[in-house]
Structure formats: structure tokens, C-alpha cells
Amino acid sequence: MFTQMEYNGVSDLSLHQDPITGLHAIIAIHSTALGPAIGGCRFIEYPTTNDAIQDALRLAKGMSYKAALAGLPHGGGKSVIIKPNKPFDRTALMRSFGCFVEQLNGRYITAMDSGTLTTDMDVIAESSRWVSCTSADGDPSAFTSLGVIEGIKAAVRHLFGKDNLEGIRVSIQGLGHVGMAVASHLSMEGAHLTVTDINTQRMRIAIEEFNAKAVSTEDIYAADVDIFCPCGLGAILNHKTIPLIKAQIIAGSANNQLLEPQDGYALAQKGILYLPDYVINSGGLIFVALAHANEDQQTIYHQVLNIGHTLTRLFTESQASGIPPFILANQQAEAILANAASLSKTHQRSIV
């Protein structure tokens, strides 16, 4: 376990079980150098507890990088509630999880993620102050999708020299809250869509509302498009899928899109512009952090628009240095975190 924590750079891993409600929950904190760790709570089924822990560790690291490059005063954290495979009381489960979050005394702020709802955050808020995305705050997916669109526009300007998305061909993998919102935005901007999802009803909606072409989950990688937009599961860019991809740009909301770091290099060698996932999908985290700080919608909106500027800067630096954007993003995030940690240690020494 400690080896896994060290590999992901995670400083704290907390496990909690409540025999009364059946809660089995995990909170991973990657860093608090910039401020309290922040990140969503997943409520999904896992084959094993170790799979759930691995998910939390991996995602917590991504949240630290995401917060750092978004300029947020937060470190990265992630929580997982393992969904029971037997009948359970959802309200009791979430209330118990809130008590778990509260025990960390503000070192971790939770929010919506896969499998959780604003109503779940309302219940968690009954027993913890450290929660965002309640019904009063709203759903972050609209801001996640806005950031993805801004990232796509930045990539299209950089690679194709176009200031609009008219006629751009985009394949979307996953039509959940964010994927469907991205599809809607792109359709309104005049893009031609190819979509896939395991839910056939969602595909029918995309066909009817956005005039999209539907393909199987296996065929989405080889779609003849300009942009591949992964908005579902992570680890979908790997040695099996990369050879199939025809798109010149990969820009989507999914977390941890690269199975391994070398897959990012494989994309670069193939001449594909890969937008670092934790940069392009940071709109949701920006919303979560600023909503928790009681910022207004206009402030949140303008900070999400900066995602396009951040990516444009990475593209320019990549072109000048020959270093892929995802490596530059990693280096810059790590430098921000290291500097913050150094300042924190200096401050602690001065107090002593």
C-alpha cells in the first residue's frame, strides 16, 4: 500500500467503514501545499477494494495538478464510496460519509463525481462543512463542458488556424452529463458529430437532437474525424487504441486518459495534439472550489474561460521547445507544488 502511495505521491490515505450503514469509504490526499485538498466523491461499484484504492490514489494526484495549473488555492484529493452490492440506505450512507469527511477537519473538501448527485452533497452537508456542489451550489458539469469547448477552440486555432468550429468533425466517447453538454455546444457551433455510448438511449438523443452519427464503442477510435473527444472512462489511450486513431487532436473531459505516460509520447510521435486532460477538464474543479468560496457565477465563468489561454500557452511553449504539452503541463504543475511545499516548510521553521 505504501508503495502505491509513494508511486502516486499521495501523502495521506484514510479508510473508513461503518458497520451500521455498510459504508466502505476511502479518502486520498495528494497534497495540501497550496491549501486544503479538494476533489469529488465517486460512488460506483469496484471489483475489489484495492481497485477502489488505486482509483482514489491516481485521481488525487490528477486533482493536485489540475488545481495547480488552474491557479486554485487547493491541493488535490479524491474520495471513493464503494457502492454496496446489496440493498442499502443511500441517505444513511451519505450522512455517515459526511462524518468521515468532517473528521479530517477541513484537510479535504468533497464534491460531486461519478455516481453522486447534488442531493447526496446536501446529505453530506448535514454532517460536514467541507462539501461543495450542494443543491444551492449546482452541478459542475456545465462548467466542465464549457472548459472542454474552450480547449477545443484553442486547439483548432493552433492547429487549423480557424476561429470557429464550423465543419469540424468531432467524435465523442461517452454521453453522460458532460459529454452530452459538449455535444450540444459543438452542434450549435456547426461541428459534425460522431458519437458512442453504452447507453443506446443517449445515442438516440444525440442522433435526433444533434444530427450525430452513432458508432459502436469499438469503432469510435477509428472514426474519420478531426478531433477525438473522450468524455467517459479513463485509460482509453493505450497501445491498443492509439494505432487506430485518425484524429489530429484529442481533447476531452475524461480523467486519466493515458494508460501509461509513454502513451503520451506515442501520440506525439504520431503527430497527434493531445490536450492534457487535467487542464482541459478543470472547469468542474474551478466551479467546485470557487462555489465553496462563495464566488459569484460571473467570476467562475471568467476563470473557466482561462482554460483556453492556458492551453494556448502550452501549445506555444511546446512548439518552441519540442516538448509535448502533457509533459510541459506536468513539469509546471510539479514546480508549482514544489514551490508551495518549500514555502510552507520555510514558514513552519520561522514559527518554530
Residues of each annotated binding site: 174-179
| CB distance 80 to 26 below 8 Å | yes
What are the angstrom distances between the C-alpha of 282 and each of 146, 277, 324?
10, 8, 19
Whether 41 and 33 have beta carbons less than 8 Å apart is answered as no
CA separation for the pair 136, 138 (Å, rounded):
6
Name the active-site residue from 61, 78, 270, 345: 78
Residue 83 is a catalytic residue:
no
Residue 63, helix vs strand vs coil: helix
Pick from 118, 133, 126: which is nearest to 38 by CA? Answer: 133
Using DSSP bridges, classify how beta strands 213-214 and 192-196 pair: parallel, antiparallel or unpaired: parallel
Nearest to 248 by CA among 152, 345, 319, 351: 152
The contacts of residue 24 (CB under 8 Å, 6+ apart) are 15, 16, 17, 49, 52, 81, 82, 84
User: Using CA atoms, how far apart are residues 268 and 264, in angstroms rounded to an integer?
Assistant: 6
**Phi, psi dihedrals of residue 23, rounded to the nearest 5°:** -70, 130
Residue carrying the nine cell digits 442499502: 88
**270 — phi, psi (to 5°)?**
-85, -5
The residue ranges of DSSP E strands in 88-191, in sequence order, are 108-109, 169-173
Query: What residues contact 325, with CB distance under 8 A and at least 6 apart?
Result: 273, 274, 275, 276, 311, 314, 315, 317, 318
**Which positions make up the binding site for NAD(+)?**
174-179
Active site residues: 78
